[in-house]
Amino acid sequence: MAGKRTGPNLSKIAEALGVSSATVSNALSGKGRVSADLVKKIRKKAGEMGYVPSRAGRALRTGRSGVLGLVLPDIGNPLFPQIAQAMERAAATNDYGVLIADSRDDVTTQTDAIGRLIERGVDGLIVIPRRGTRIGTVGCPVAMIDTPSTPGNTVSADHWQAGEQIARHLMELGHKNILLLGNDPASNVQNDRIGGMKAAFKRDISCQTLWLQPLLRKGGTAASLNLSERISQGVSAIATVSDLLALRVLTELQTAGFQVPTQVSVTGFDDLIFSPVISPALTTVRMNMSQIANIAVAALIDEINGNRDPKPKTSLQKKRTVPDTVMADTSRVPMELIIRSSTGPAPFDQTPHSNGETL
């Protein structure tokens, strides 16, 4: 049952119309080598017969699979749903399919995952790189979704600018002593976010940056952050690098008896699924995933088509001089600040001990 074509093929249509299958092919693909009348007639017939082109046949002939591969460092990433959804839509709009592969947060597995995709003949690759990974030349165009500061060819949200937005929002609320909280100091994205925040702070803002993961690695717990103490020392806002981290902080503060945002404001990044529904809802910043996906997919398709070898039938392919991963342009897409109730005015009796590192 599986497999074995059920519907008609090109020759069936050609037969039914008394024309050649070449003509049917040309008519259907709209390359314009067929008279308008014939095109219309063929299209009509194809519709009536319920013709569905065979991807396999086309793929074998053209050497293109019509499929893009999506590689994720860790599919468990809470942003993955948004990414996958956006990519699938962008691809489908361009008549491409999306094959997935996850790499379990492991460089070796990432290589495997890419290999599996390449073997399946994907025409291009979208990769959200594991931090620190450089994708070598893989034999097909690659678009990376990361940060503009990643060396290579990327489309991404403008994490830096988003950091600035968060920072300005907090400053406008009157916060002067702010704790910046990151998770992984090796992450480009997180560094950009923190960098943007720092850059936007004025001279009179006191801020300190903490990274959670190294602390945890050294056997510490989240408690080692001493949040309560810091707040009593004057911190009135905690700006984290992700909603997950913000949620962690928020619930910890609440458990410790603090009121958010009355006593402390908390911000996140990414607008994850839970962010709008928790109490208080998270002030955060959202990326326009579909825009990013559209750019990435468009860049890929451009390259798939544009860089085609001028003499496709020559047995010796001209050695490409441009690396496969070069995208037309490194694009950065602005993020959108979403103000919700986890941020509020700085408490009035704020005592700026200014014991943090000052910018």
Smallest distance from the beta carbon of 301 to DNA, in angstroms? 15
Using CB under 8 A as the binding rule, the residues of this chain from 131 to 150 that contact a copy of itself are 139-141
Helix (H) or strand (E) holding 339: none
Smallest distance from the beta carbon of 52 to DNA, in angstroms? 7
Give the SS3 label for residue 286.
strand
Compute the distance between CA of residue 146 and CA of residue 279 in angstroms, rounded to an integer. 30
Smallest distance from the beta carbon of 324 to a copy of itself, in angstroms? 7
Smallest distance from the beta carbon of 97 to a copy of itself, in angstroms? 5
Shorter beta-carbon distance to DNA: residue 43 or 89: 43
Neighbours of 271 (CB within 10 A): 21
Which of 21, 26, 94, 254 contacts a copy of itself by CB under 8 A? 254
Helix (H) or strand (E) holding 181: strand 177-182
Neighbours of 14 (CB within 10 A): 20
Smallest distance from the beta carbon of 35 to a copy of itself, in angstroms? 28
- Residue 316 interacts with a copy of itself (CB under 8 A)? no
Which does residue 337 touch among DNA, a copy of itself, none (CB within 5 to 8 A, set by kind)? none
- Residue 309 interacts with a copy of itself (CB under 8 A)? yes
Q: What is the DSSP letter of 283?
A: B
- Residue 82 interacts with a copy of itself (CB under 8 A)? yes
Neighbours of 22 (CB within 10 A): 12
Query: Which range touches a copy of itself (CB under 8 A), out of 3-11, 36-44, 149-157, 165-173?
Result: 3-11
- Residue 311 interacts with a copy of itself (CB under 8 A)? no
Q: In which residue are the tokens 């809802």 written?
A: 281
Which does residue 108 touch among DNA, a copy of itself, none (CB within 5 to 8 A, set by kind)? none
- Residue 2 interacts with a copy of itself (CB under 8 A)? yes
Which of 11, 44, 60, 226 contacts a copy of itself by CB under 8 A? 60
- The string of DSSP letters for 309-336 reads -SSTT-SSPPPP-S-TT--S--EEE-EE
Compute the distance between CA of residue 270 and CA of residue 284 in angstroms, rounded to an integer. 6
- Residue 251 interacts with a copy of itself (CB under 8 A)? yes
Smallest distance from the beta carbon of 67 to DNA, in angstroms? 15
Q: Is the peptide bond before 261 cis (omega within 30 degrees of 0)?
A: yes
Which does residue 32 touch among a copy of itself, DNA, none (CB within 5 to 8 A, set by kind)? DNA
- Token pair recorded at residue 207: 């801020």
Compute the distance between CA of residue 164 and CA of residue 199 in angstroms, rounded to an integer. 7
